[in-house]
């Protein structure tokens, strides 16, 4: 269990824009992904306008924003309907290693169910092998798929 007396996912809004972009910048820096503030500002607006496809949450622990999470939605016959994918989850480095991430995964699963999802998925980078243990401990299974992507 975490050391936090309160933990919640607060749906992100335009009032969270600056902090959300700051946190996204931290995530992208850690993942070695190019971060263009204006491009992400535009993408954030698209996300806010498409709640059927994407949900953004601020992670709030003890009344303080400590990260953010993004779920995206698609449909899968194989997995029985709506598939929720953890697109991004980021907790500021100084708050990690205290059980917060595991609790956030539980909250994301609850939110996915509320949104009608039958399955929750998350991608793990080969560069972060410790995440395999983290996700397995949270009840995730590794499927023998290797995703391919084509930017359009």
Per-residue pLDDT band at 1 (split at 50, 70, 90): very low
Which residues are CB-contacts of 44 (< 8 A; sequence separation ≥ 6)? Answer: 17, 20, 21, 24, 56
Per-residue pLDDT band at 53 (split at 50, 70, 90): very high
By the 8 A CB rule, do 103 and 7 touch?
A: yes
By the 8 A CB rule, do 23 and 70 touch?
A: no
Per-residue pLDDT band at 3 (split at 50, 70, 90): low
Domain ranges in the chain are 7-137
Triad 123, 115, 110: Cα angle to 5°: 70
Read off the pLDDT of residues 74-85 as tens digits, 9 standing for 90 and up.
Answer: 999 999 999 999
CATH of domain 7-137: 3.40.630.30
% pLDDT > 70, the chain: 97
Per-residue pLDDT band at 144 (split at 50, 70, 90): confident
Residue 72 three-state SS: strand
* Mean pLDDT along residues 14-20: 92
pTM for this predicted structure = 0.89
Q: Alpha-carbon distance 88 to 35, whole Å?
A: 14
Q: Please report which residue ranges of 49-138 form alpha helices under DSSP H.
A: 100-114, 130-137
């Amino acid at each position: 269990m975490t050391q936090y007396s309160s933990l919640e996912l607060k749906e992100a809004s335009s009032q969270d824009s600056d902090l959300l972009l700051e946190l996204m910048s931290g995530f992208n820096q850690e993942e070695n992904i190019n971060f263009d503030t204006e491009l992400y500002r535009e993408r954030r607006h698209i996300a806010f306008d498409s709640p059927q496809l994407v949900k953004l949450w601020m992670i709030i622990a003890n009344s303080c924003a400590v990260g953010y999470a993004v779920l995206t939605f698609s449909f899968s016959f194989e997995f029985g309907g709506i598939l929720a994918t953890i697109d991004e989850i980021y907790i500021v480095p100084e708050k990690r290693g205290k059980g917060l991430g595991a609790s956030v995964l539980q909250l994301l699963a609850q939110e996915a169910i509320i949104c009608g999802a039958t399955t929750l998925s998350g991608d793990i980078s080969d560069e972060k092998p410790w995440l395999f243990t983290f996700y397995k401990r949270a009840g995730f299974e590794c499927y023998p798929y290797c995703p391919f992507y084509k930017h359009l």
